[in-house]
């Protein structure tokens, strides 16, 4: 396979404008596809629901002739990566997740709708619109005959909303060696691109109290409840001082 050189700036600008025009002409189709995806529930713990969204996305990727790498999710739906190989050098990964925080039945209760220039519905922002944007971006490149990349991947995970317990290793392996990883989560309200986000962590703390008679010898008791709350509160204060957020789960 011969390797293509990056196009000169003028040619790159021309290609970008052609892709933009292609995408704008497909806006009605994009909105129709977005309606389909949003109206499919895909709460993280509803494995069958997430698999239905995954099947839709896999079908789209199969139309490209992409190589599919599967990863079993166990209690969660299976994650996958769709890979295209071009004749350039740059390796790009597009990252999206298929799960949402909304349980089964939410889409039926408040389905996709358009109000003015806004699209609304469960999971629209986080992140079915971003997922679909990645799909349409790849299709715009293919429509223009562009293959000046070395490797172009769409990596789809299914448990992002709970910290990616089943897919983290798969994601790290798939993205290894990428020159750029673009996370298709929503940007800011004013359109700004988000260059970095906060990290996250989960900790389990076990404490043991000491029982005592509250009326006769309370001084001999030790409250496990109070002991549990103290380090959590200290951690939350420390996190907020650093510009982060902390939540407690019981």
Domain identity same for 228 and 142: no
Question: Does any domain span residue 212?
Answer: yes
Segment 158-205, tens digit of pLDDT: 999 999 999 999 999 999 999 999 999 988 888 888 887 777 777 777
Segment 40-57, tens digit of pLDDT: 999 999 999 999 999 999
The CATH number covering residue 37 comes to 3.40.630.10
Domain identity same for 84 and 140: yes
Question: Does any domain span residue 129?
Answer: yes
Question: Does any domain span residue 29?
Answer: yes
Domain boundaries, position 212: 201-250
Domain identity same for 34 and 100: yes
DSSP at 116: T
With beta carbons less than 8 A apart as the criterion, state whether 108 and 114 touch: no
pTM: 0.82
With beta carbons less than 8 A apart as the criterion, state whether 52 and 42 touch: yes
Segment 48-91, tens digit of pLDDT: 999 999 999 999 999 999 999 999 999 999 999 999 999 999 99
Number of domains in the chain: 2
Last residue of a domain, one of 183, 209, 241: 183
Cα gap 40→76, rounded to integer Å: 16
Structure tokens at 238: 């420390």
Domain identity same for 113 and 227: no
Domain identity same for 166 and 209: no
């Amino acid at each position: 396979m011969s390797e293509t050189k990056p196009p000169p700036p003028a040619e790159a600008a021309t290609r970008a404008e052609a892709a933009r025009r292609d995408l704008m002409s497909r806006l009605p189709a994009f909105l129709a596809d977005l309606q389909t995806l949003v109206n499919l529930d895909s709460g993280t713990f509803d494995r069958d629901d997430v698999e239905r969204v995954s099947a839709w996305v896999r079908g789209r990727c199969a139309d490209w002739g992409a190589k599919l790498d599967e990863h079993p999710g166990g209690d969660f739906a299976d994650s996958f990566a769709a890979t295209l190989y071009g004749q350039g050098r740059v390796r790009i990964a597009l990252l999206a997740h298929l799960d949402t925080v909304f349980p089964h039945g939410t889409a039926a209760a408040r389905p996709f709708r358009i109000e003015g220039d806004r699209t609304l519905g469960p999971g629209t922002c986080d992140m079915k619109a971003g997922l679909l944007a990645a799909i349409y971006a790849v299709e715009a490149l293919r429509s223009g005959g562009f293959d000046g990349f070395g490797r172009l991947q769409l990596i789809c995970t299914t448990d992002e909303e709970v910290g990616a317990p089943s897919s983290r290793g798969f994601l790290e392996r798939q993205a290894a060696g990428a020159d750029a990883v673009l996370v298709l989560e929503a940007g800011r309200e004013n359109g700004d691109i988000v260059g970095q986000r906060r990290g996250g962590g989960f900790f389990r703390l076990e404490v043991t109290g000491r029982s005592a008679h509250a009326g006769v010898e309370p001084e001999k008791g030790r409250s496990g409840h109070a002991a549990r709350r103290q380090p959590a509160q200290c951690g939350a204060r420390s996190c907020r001082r650093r510009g982060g957020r902390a939540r407690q789960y019981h």
